Amino acid sequence: MDLYPLYNSMRIAGISTLIVLVFGVATAHYTVRLPGFIKGILDCIFTLPLVLPPTVVGYLLLRFLGPKRILGQFFLETFGVKLTMNWYSAIFATTVVIFPLMYRTARGAFQAYDRNLSLAGRTLGLSKPYIFFNIEMPCCRQGIIAGTVLAFARALGEYGATSMIAGYTPGRTATISTTVYQLWRTDNDALALKWVLINLVISAVVLLAINVFESRMQKSRIK
């Protein structure tokens, strides 16, 4: 059994989760303090991929990243890099799809954060970056960790947008979800079942992790 899809899925999910962790947290931290109206609009934009069908996300991505489209053409001509139909193409798809998950959980955590703690830090002479990394982030860490795990789980399962932008090439762009579909389509039921089981195990572990974090969060809240 060729384990390439597992490896590929993991690296795509891992990289896109890292990207989303940085940008999702930064965006959430920024928008939380904006005035209501602007916040509402940005919130809408950042959450949109959560409710859009993945095929719509895939379509929109292709409109920008396709070899003859504005960004795709630019990268192809300047760096000789083709943004679609490569293993890393799926990263674009998963990143967009999981961004709202990270953004929303992080925003919830930042919203619940007591801003006076940061103000106290300022009067104590601490710098803003120091306050963010040593006071605010630790206070919000459980929400951020939960968001990361959720985003990773969703990235592993991404199918629609990924298949549109990266396609299915065995040994190159194949992920677990596209492999399952391909195997089922070609009547290879036994192998498809194996991949389904692998996927179930990974998802179960991830969900367990989320539950553990949530119950810990509740405990610390009761305290």
Partner 1 sequence: MSLKISIKKKYTDFCLDVDFSTDSKRIGILGASGSGKSMTLKSVAGLIKPDEGEIVFDNKILFDSKNKTDLKPDRRRVGYLFQDYALFPTMTVEKNIRTAFTGAKRIERLNKQSGMNSENPMFHENDTEGILKKFGLWEQKDHRPDELSGGQKQRTALARMLVTNPELLLLDEPFSALDTYLREGMRLELKKLLEEYNKTVILVSHDRDEIYQLCDYLVLLNQGRMIGCGNTEELFKHPVSVAAARLTGCKNISRIKKLGENKILALDWGGIELVTDLKVDDDISFAGIRAHDFIPGNCEINEIPVGNATVSRLPFEWYITLENGLWWKVPKAMEEQSRENLIPSCVTIPPDKIILLKEQKT
Please identify which residue in 114, 200, 208, 216 interacts with partner 1, judged by CB under 8 A.
Answer: 114
Can you tell me the distance from the alpha carbon of 163 to that of 130, in angstroms, rounded to the nearest whole number?
A: 42
Give the binding-site size for partner 1 (rule: CB under 8 A).
19
Q: Report the nearest approach of partner 1 to the CB of residue 131 (Å).
A: 9
Q: Report the nearest approach of partner 1 to the CB of residue 215 (Å).
A: 18
Question: 16 to 35, contacts with partner 1 by CB under 8 A?
Answer: none
Which of 112, 115, 118, 116 has its CA nearest to residue 133? 118
Apex 212 CA angle, 151 and 114, nearest 5? 75
x/- site string to partner 1, residues 129 to 168, per CB under 8 A? -x---xx--xx-x---------------------------
Please identify which residue in 120, 204, 205, 208 interacts with partner 1, judged by CB under 8 A.
Answer: 120
Residue 126 or 206: the one with the smaller Cβ distance to partner 1 is: 126
State yes or no: residue 218 binds partner 1 (CB under 8 A): no
State yes or no: residue 121 binds partner 1 (CB under 8 A): yes
Interface with partner 1 (CB under 8 A)? 114, 116-117, 119-127, 130, 134-135, 138-139, 141, 223
